[in-house]
Amino acid sequence: MESSGKEFGRRRDRNAASIERAFGITVAEPQATGRATRYRTIREGGPATVFTVGYEKRDGEELMALLKDAGIDLLADIREKPLSRVPDFRATALRGFCENVGIEYRNWPALGSTEKLRENLKLTGDFGRFEREFRKYVIRNGKDALHELANEAKTKSTALLCYERLHEECHRSTVAELLADELGAGIVAI
């Protein structure tokens, strides 16, 4: 997987054209939209990059435009239960959106935060504690799923999906770190 700026630009142009065909919307040039506001490097790494994205305050079309712009091949939904109050972000709808733009969609429930961990976070508001407990949980219970996802990410540009817009406020930050550690990869938040 090439990660040079030129390849990213060519991929972005190809993706913009496919989004226009699929959804009838135009993707603005990065200079006009301010690429720095769309992508944020969390960690530098080797030849692979783990992307993360949250769907909070977005719709399905905007999410697909962002994913195509970044050159994503695989959307890894890491919610324990791929449900949402917003119809665009239920598993079936996401799968349809992804199919329309040529992105593979898969759910990795073993890498999702458990209801018990989420409830404890709501009660305490202590994200640091949540993060430590979730990391232990994934290492203990999600190692196989993490390894399987790492194998996919070696050959496919992969984005981890969950709800929270900010990477730092979501369990996907922990999954991204564990995945990047296994791959020697960088992390970019979309």
d(CA 111, CA 137): 9
d(CA 112, CA 25): 32
Among candidate residues 47, 108, 101, the one with its CA nearest the CA of residue 77 = 108
Give the pLDDT confidence score for residue 128 in this predicted structure. Answer: 94
Give the pLDDT confidence score for residue 17 in this predicted structure. Answer: 57
d(CA 70, CA 65): 9
| Residue ranges of domains in the chain | 5-189
User: What's the alpha-carbon Rg for the chain, to the nearest Å?
Assistant: 16
Residue 105's CB is within 10 A of a number of other CB atoms, namely: 19
Tens-digit pLDDT profile for residues 129-170: 999 999 999 999 999 999 999 999 999 999 999 999 999 999
Among candidate residues 182, 187, 183, 108, the one with its CA nearest the CA of residue 145 = 108
Low-confidence ranges of the chain (pLDDT < 70): 1-37
Give the pLDDT confidence score for residue 47 in this predicted structure. Answer: 84
Give the pLDDT confidence score for residue 21 in this predicted structure. Answer: 58
Give the pLDDT confidence score for residue 46 in this predicted structure. Answer: 85
For the record, the structure tokens of 1 come out as 């997987």
d(CA 106, CA 98): 10
Give the pLDDT confidence score for residue 15 in this predicted structure. Answer: 56
CATH classification (class only), 5-189: alpha beta
